[in-house]
Structure 1
Amino acid sequence: MLTADLHTHTRFSDGTDTPEELLAAAQAAGLTTVGLTDHDTADGWDQAAEHVPPGMRVVPGAEFSTKHPGGDGALVSVHLLGYLFDRDHPLITAEWKRIVDERTNRGARIVQSLVAAGYPITLDQVRDKAGRGNIGRPHIARTLVDAGVIGTVGEAFEGILEDGGPHHVSLRSTSLVEGIEMIVAAGGVPVIAHPRARTAAAVLSAPVLETLVDVGLAGLEVRHPDHDHAARAELVGIAADLGLLTTGSSDYHGGNKTLRIGQERTDDDVVEQIVDRGAVAPFVG
C-alpha cells in the first residue's frame, strides 16, 4: 500500500503550515505516515509530536542542504533527506549552528542589497515571514510578492533572487559525502531527495551513486513531482542494482508551492525498513 508521504515542510523552514496544520492536511489526504523534513533543522519535531492525529505517525527528519562536485569541478546543489537520526548528535548540532549563523547573515545581506537597489522591503518584514525558522530566500521572495514587486515566489527565484544574480550571496554548503556520514553517525537513514530534478541530475550518475552507497547512502527519492516517467524508471533500475530503498514524496510546502500533500507516496514496506534502521522512534498518535 501507499499511505506515506516522506518529504514535507512547515513554517520551521520554508513551508507555510504549522506542524499541526500540516498533519491535519495529511490526515485529510488519507495518509498514515508523514515525514517531517524541514531544511537543516529539527525545530518542528516537538510541535509535530504534540499534534499527531490518532492512527497516524510522524517520521522525524530533515532535508540537508549539500553540494557535490560536477565533472568540471564546480559544486552542484544536492538535497539529502535524513530520517530518524539523533538531532542532538554533536556532528549535526555543530553543522546546523554554522548553517543558521551563515543563513541569518546571508538573509540580512540579501535584504540590504535589495533595499539599496530600491526594493520596498525591510529585514523586519522578512523576519516576520520566517517566524521561528531560519531566514531563507523563500521568505524574502514572499515579502517581495506582498510588496507587489513580483507575482509569485517562483518568479523571484527566476530573476531577482537567482543564483549568480546581482543580489546573490553564496554559502559554504555541507558536502554530500559529509551529509551522509553525519546522518549515519547520528543513527539516521540518508535518502537523496529528487535526484533527477534541477541541477542534481548532472552529477548523480550511477557510478557516483555507487560511491555514495559505500559511505552509507540508503535510498533514492524516486516518485517526486519533478520526475517524469523516464527518470523514475532509470532510478528504479539504479536502486535495484545498488540495493537502495526507493521512496515517494510530495515535497509539500503549503502555500509556497502548488503541490498537494500525498500526491506522491512511499510503499508502506519501505517505510517499515526505514523505521527499523533509524535510531529514533516515529511519533505516534
Structure 2
Amino acid sequence: MAAEDPADGYLFDLYRRYIGEPDDRTDVYVGFGLFLGGIGFAIVALLIYLWSSTLEAPAYFVWVEPAYSVAMISLPVLMLGIVVLLPSERRVLYTSIAGLAVTVVAVGGFLYAYPDHWNRYGNNYTTQIVAVYAVGLAGVTASTGAALIAHYLEMAQAVNEASGDDQDGEELTYSDEEIREDIDAAMEGVELSWGGVQKSENKRLTFSDHEFDSENLDTNMATKTTRSSGVDAQVAGLKGLKGGEKKTAVSESSVDDQTQKLKELREQRRKEQAAEEAGGRRITNPLSGLLERLRSLVNRN
C-alpha cells in the first residue's frame, strides 16, 4: 500500500474520503481522468448537438454526427473510470476494457454509416451497429456493477471485523476500592444539609442528661391492635362519625328468655328477703329468753 503523502493533492483526498486508501497512485490518476473525461465528453456532445440544431442541411449532418459519436463514447468511458478507481479484480477491469473497445468499434461503424446508410437509407446498417454498441455497453455496465458490489462487500467485511475485534477485547473491570474512590472523588466538596442542621464532622450522637427529663417514656406500654371488621360494621362506624345518626342497641334474646330471667330475679329476691327475716328472728329470740330469766329472778327475791 502506498504511503500517505501530504502533497498528493485534492484527488487523493477525495479518494480517501469516499473509497479508501489507494493501492497505486496510477489508478487514482487514470480513474479520475477517465471519470472526468466521460463527463467532459457528454458536455461537449450536448453543446455540439445544440449548435447543430441551429444549422440547415447539409451543415446540420456535418455537426450532428460527431455529437452523436461523442455521446456514445462518453458513457462507457465514465463507467471504465469507476472500475479503475475501485479496488476491483483484474478480470473485472479487463471485461470493462473489452466492453469499451466494442463500443468504440460500434462508434466507428456509426461514423461510416451515418447518414447515407442509416435509418432506412442506403444499406441501412442501423440494426447491426446498435447491436454491437449494446453488447459493448452491457459488458462495461456489468463490470462496473461487479466492482461496486465487491467494494461494498469489502467495506461491510471491514466493519464486521472491527466490531469483532471490539467484542474480543478484554472487558473493563473495576474493584470495589476503585469504585469507592471514584465516589469519594465525585462527592468531595459537596455538603449535605439535613433540614438546616449545621454539618458536623463527628460520627457519634450525644445527648445531655436533661434532654429527656420532661419526657415520660413508658416502655411497658401495651400495643394496641386494631382488626378490621366487616363491611357493614365499617359503614355503620362511618355513619356514626358523620353525626345525626344514633346507635340503637338491639337485644338478640327472645321474650320467653327475658320472662324466665325476670322470674329468676324475683325468686332470688324473695329468697334474700326470707334469709334476712330468719336472721332477725334468731337475734330476737335470745334477747327475749334473757329477759324472762331476769324477771323470774326478780320475782323470787
Identify the TM-score tier after normalising by the shorter chain.
under 0.3
| Structure ID, larger Rg | 2
Instruction: Return the TM-score normalized by structure 1.
Output: 0.21
Higher strand share: 1
Instruction: Return the TM-score normalized by structure 2.
Output: 0.20
